[in-house]
């Protein structure tokens, strides 16, 4: 009977789970899921664990906490170069080029035209081209190739 249980038992790649958990911490994501053939692994952070400051709280505390949450985002954005901030329209993975080894769509100092693809955000195996909203010079690329991104996260600054 032990042989039957062992044959039918799911084999978990513990190192992969640890790596995914570390990725959650590094990127401040709350959940990540990977699929490889028949195997699917989902790692999620419990609500209220570590990073999210915006977890549910009693009304008086929420009012007091709101400025503290807004201040870091404003401070980070104030530190960015002047220009048009291109934000991620979805949660996914940012890719700076069309394929591995290819030249990036946009790099710091490059001229881009309005409507020109400046990066790709992959979500649920769909590649979403992100276009420059304005023509100008790329002043900053705020993500790395293959980096997970959140909704509304700043990606590129164009001036």
Per-residue tokens: 148: 């997970």
- Tokens 């020109």, residue located: 116
Of the options 2.60.40.10, 2.40.50.100, 3.40.50.920, 3.40.50.150, the CATH number for the domain spanning 81-158: 2.40.50.100
Share of the chain above pLDDT 70, in %: 68
Pick from 59, 61, 73, 156: nearest CA to 117: 156
pTM score over 0.95: no
Position with higher pLDDT, 51 vs 82 = 82
Query: In the predicted model, what is the mean pLDDT of residues 96-124?
Result: 92
- Euclidean distance between CA atoms 1 and 91, whole angstroms: 45
Per-residue pLDDT tens over the stretch 13-67: 777 777 777 776 776 777 777 776 677 777 777 655 444 443 444 444 444 444 4
User: Domain map of the chain by residue range?
Assistant: 2-44, 54-79, 81-158
């Amino acid at each position: 009977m032990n042989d039957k249980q062992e044959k039918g038992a799911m084999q978990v790649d513990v190192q992969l789970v640890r790596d995914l958990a570390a990725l959650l911490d590094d990127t401040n994501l709350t959940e990540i899921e990977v699929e490889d053939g028949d195997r699917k692994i989902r790692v999620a952070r419990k609500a209220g664990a570590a990073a999210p400051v915006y977890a549910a709280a009693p009304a008086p505390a929420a009012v007091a906490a709101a400025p503290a949450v807004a201040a870091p985002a404003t401070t980070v954005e104030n530190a960015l170069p002047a220009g048009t901030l291109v934000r991620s329209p979805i949660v996914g993975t940012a890719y700076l080029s069309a394929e591995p080894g290819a030249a990036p769509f946009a790099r710091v100092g490059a001229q881009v035209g309005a409507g020109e693809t400046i990066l790709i955000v992959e979500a649920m195996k769909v590649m979403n081209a992100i276009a420059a909203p304005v023509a100008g010079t790329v002043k900053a690329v705020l993500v790395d190739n293959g980096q997970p991104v959140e909704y509304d996260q700043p990606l590129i600054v164009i001036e």
